[in-house]
């Protein structure tokens, strides 16, 4: 018995009549709800219309879920298409398996469609979304905890994560001859590290947006850099199965390359439209249609405000 450890759930689903409800799906839905709530508050504070975020997200969210699943299946096809595997399980999203890179790619396409229909600027929407997206990803990682997945190497640290052998058919841990859940061991809780990193990153973006006058699109670039830096480190720690390229996990390469892309984009945005380092009103994170960023359009269909009007943080309203 490990002297001290973090326990893992022995069930990952429950039945509600004929339906089986998976905690992984509930965590994803909770993350989406938090992201929508925060993004809407930030959007309205910046001069956008109430309801526009939901309208855009109705395009972005389904595209993102489909894109995330496609990326997962493409990068781990042996889980579904080798002899003895059930190809239909590629659609079983409730069992886990969403690739963030595919979710961002197709979700971005859906957001672009939604923004075009709402006649608003995509970069404005992405900036408003950035911290909420990190909080959503943090909540989504709790779904991996219920599934007893995404862990690192074995460890004797007091926060080592107890991992059970899970039985997909029962929606819970497999049991041994003694009737007790089978424990596979105690491992680094990489899901928890990533969840904490995303939470801190979301808070950091909120603080940066309040303190600095960032060019349009810069907050989303910060999201890209924050998330991929943490994901790169976490991928190096993970010990669960993954396809490798030159000895590194596929997601390690993707995280590193996307980080570089985000860093270059952030530097270019600062060079093109950087404002004074600290806003005259340090309590505001607003950077909507009244700013002086060149080459971009204002948030459409919204009352125009001046920087002197924006002295209240979104979290202080209502």
pLDDT in tens, 11-41: 998 888 888 888 988 999 999 999 999 999 9
Query: Number of structural domains, the chain?
Result: 1
Asked if residue 202 lies in contact with residue 110, where contact means CB atoms within 8 angstroms, the answer is no
Quick: pLDDT tens for 181-194: 999 999 999 999 99
To the nearest whole number, what is the mean pLDDT of the chain? 82
Tell me if 96 is assigned to some domain.
Answer: yes
Tell me if 39 is assigned to some domain.
Answer: yes
The pLDDT of residue 44 is above 70 = yes
**In the prediction, which pLDDT does 52 show?**
95
Sign of CA pseudo-dihedral 280, 281, 286, 290:
negative
**In the prediction, which pLDDT does 2 show?**
63
The pLDDT of residue 1 is above 80 = no
Tell me if 259 is assigned to some domain.
Answer: no
**In the prediction, which pLDDT does 97 show?**
72
Residue 66 sits in which domain range? 13-211
In terms of C-beta density within 10 A (0-12 exposed, 13-18 middle, 19 or more buried), how is residue 35 classed? buried
- Count of C-beta atoms within a 10 Å radius of residue 130: 29
The pLDDT of 157-171, averaged and rounded, is 87
**In the prediction, which pLDDT does 18 show?**
84
Distance, CA of 58 to CA of 134 (rounded, Å): 19
Tell me if 276 is assigned to some domain.
Answer: no
At 179, the pLDDT band (50, 70, 90 cuts) reads confident
Percent of the chain with pLDDT over 70: 84
At 104, the pLDDT band (50, 70, 90 cuts) reads confident
Tell me if 93 is assigned to some domain.
Answer: yes
Distance, CA of 236 to CA of 234 (rounded, Å): 5
Asked if residue 182 lies in contact with residue 174, where contact means CB atoms within 8 angstroms, the answer is yes
**In the prediction, which pLDDT does 296 show?**
37
The pLDDT of residue 299 is above 60 = no
Listed residue (237, 243, 244) closest to 152, CA to CA? 237
Tell me if 289 is assigned to some domain.
Answer: no
Tell me if 239 is assigned to some domain.
Answer: no
Quick: pLDDT tens for 45-98: 999 999 999 999 999 999 998 988 888 888 777 778 878 787 888 877 766 677
**In the prediction, which pLDDT does 73 show?**
85
The pLDDT of residue 226 is above 90 = yes
* Cβ density class 253-286: b for 16+ within 10 Å, e for less: ebbbebbeebbebbeebeeebeeeeebeeeebbb
Tell me if 225 is assigned to some domain.
Answer: no
The pLDDT of 102-123, averaged and rounded, is 92
**In the prediction, which pLDDT does 199 show?**
97
One-character DSSP codes across the chain: --SS-B---SBSEEEETTEEEEHHHHHHHHHHHHHHHHHHHHHHHTTPPTTHHHHHHHHHHHHHHHHHHHHHHHH-THHHHSTT--GGGGG-GGGS---HHHHHHHHHHHHHHHHHHHT--HHHHHHHHHHHHHHHHHHHHHHHHHTT-S-BSB--STTPEEEEPEETTTTEE-B-TTSSBPEEEEE--HHHHHHHHHHHHHHHHHHHHHHS-PPTTHHHHHHHHHHHHHHHHHHHHB-S---EETTEEHHHHHHHHHHHHHHHHHHHHHHHH---SS-SSTT----STTS--TT-PPPTTS----GGG--S-GGG--
């Amino acid at each position: 018995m490990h002297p001290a450890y973090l326990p893992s759930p022995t069930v990952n689903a429950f039945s509600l009549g004929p339906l089986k409800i998976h905690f992984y799906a509930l965590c994803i839905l909770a993350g989406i709800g938090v992201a929508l709530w925060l993004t809407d508050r930030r959007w309205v504070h910046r001069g956008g219309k109430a309801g526009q975020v939901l309208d855009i997200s109705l395009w972005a969210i389904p595209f993102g879920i489909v894109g995330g699943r496609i990326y997962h299946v493409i990068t781990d096809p042996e889980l579904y298409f080798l002899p003895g595997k059930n190809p239909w399980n590629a659609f079983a999203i409730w069992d886990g398996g969403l690739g963030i890179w595919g979710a961002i790619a197709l979700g971005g396409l859906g957001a672009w469609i939604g923004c075009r229909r709402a006649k608003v600027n995509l970069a404005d929407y992405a900036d408003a979304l950035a911290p909420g997206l990190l909080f959503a990803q943090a909540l989504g990682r709790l779904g991996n905890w219920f599934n007893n997945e995404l862990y690192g190497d074995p460890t004797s640290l007091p926060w080592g994560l107890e991992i059970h052998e899970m039985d997909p058919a029962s929606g819970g841990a497999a049991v041994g001859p003694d009737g007790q859940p089978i424990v596979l061991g105690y491992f680094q809780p990489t899901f928890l590290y990533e969840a904490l990193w995303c939470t801190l990153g979301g808070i950091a973006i909120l603080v940066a947006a309040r303190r600095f006058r960032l060019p349009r699109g810069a907050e989303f670039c910060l999201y890209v850099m924050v998330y991929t830096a943490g994901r790169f480190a976490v991928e190096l720690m993970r010990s669960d199965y993954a396809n490798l390229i030159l000895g590194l996990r596929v997601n390690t390469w993707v995280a590193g390359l996307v980080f570089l892309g985000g860093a270059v984009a952030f530097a270019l945005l600062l060079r093109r439209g950087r404002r004074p380092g600290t806003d005259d009103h340090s309590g505001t994170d607003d950077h909507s249609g009244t700013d002086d960023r060149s080459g971009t359009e204002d948030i459409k269909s919204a009352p125009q405000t001046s920087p002197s009007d924006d002295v209240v943080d979104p979290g202080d309203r209502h």
